[in-house]
Amino acid sequence: KRILRYTKSTQGFGILYCNDYKPKFLRYVDLDWISDIDQIFSIIGLVFIIRTSLILWLSKKYPTMTLSTSKTKYKALENASREALWLIMFLQDLYLNIK
Compute the mean pLDDT over every residue in the chain, rounded to the nearest whole number.
77
Q: Read off the pLDDT of each residue in 71-96 and give the average, rounded to a whole number.
A: 81
Q: Read off the pLDDT of each residue in 47-55 and give the average, rounded to a whole number.
A: 81
Q: Read off the pLDDT of each residue in 48-63 and give the average, rounded to a whole number.
A: 80
Q: Residue 43 domain-assigned? A: yes
pLDDT tens track for 58-77: 888 876 666 667 777 787 78
How far apart CA 27 and CA 85 sit, in angstroms, is 11
Q: Residue 83 domain-assigned? A: yes
* Per-residue model confidence (pLDDT) at position 93: 84
Q: Residue 53 domain-assigned? A: yes
pTM: predicted TM-score of the whole model, two decimal places: 0.57
Q: Residue 39 domain-assigned? A: yes
Q: Residue 8 domain-assigned? A: no
Q: Is 21 a residue whose pLDDT tops 70? A: no
